[in-house]
Amino acid sequence: MLSRYFIDIAQDLARAEVELSEKLRRPAVFFDRDGVLNHDSGYIFEASKLKWIDGAREAVKAVNDAGYFAFVVSNQSGVARGFYQESDVHALHRWMADDMAGMGAHIDAFEYCPDHPEGALERYRRVSDRRKPGPGMITDLLGRFPVDADHSILIGDKGDDLEAARAAGLQGYLFSGGNLEAFVKQHLEPRSGNAPKPG
């Protein structure tokens, strides 16, 4: 009888964990970086040279306020090409995070791929599933966070971004310029509580 009691408790706990996980699940917006959040002027790694896209920080805040995760997924082949180091990528992302925090916006995780199959540096000269159009950066985030992938989207400025989204099972949207906040708001689903409203 006692063993049956503990089995029931274990089953109840397992069921509670599943239910809690489902309640914590929420959609995400995956942002490409260069050309979406900031102007793509070629291998940006210094904060002094980064210029935000109009409405970029406001777009991230809109995603935060809507209850979505906000992620960045960025190819950074400049590392493989020897133009800058991974520490420079981290430093720039810290600066971007600090600058967004000043207006109440935040990125839940920055992901980047430093590899390139024709890289000048041998340690980064490889084919990587994390490099878009591969979906690796996206699928890694889906494995680490309780993301509702069915209602998640990716915003990119190149075909490789959209291909990566498709490979990960997400809807991708091509941003070709203008105000990013206005663009993103067109694609956010109205939400109630922790679950998207049916469309």
Instruction: For residue 44, give both structure tokens.
Output: 């940006």
Instruction: For residue 30, give both structure tokens.
Output: 């995956």
Q: What are phi and psi of 6, to 5 degrees?
A: -70, -35
Cα–Cα distance between 116 and 70 in angstroms, integer? 25
Cα–Cα distance between 186 and 199 in angstroms, integer? 14
Q: Tell me which residues are annotated as active site.
A: 32, 34
Neighbours of 165 (CB within 10 A): 25
Cα–Cα distance between 85 and 8 in angstroms, integer? 53
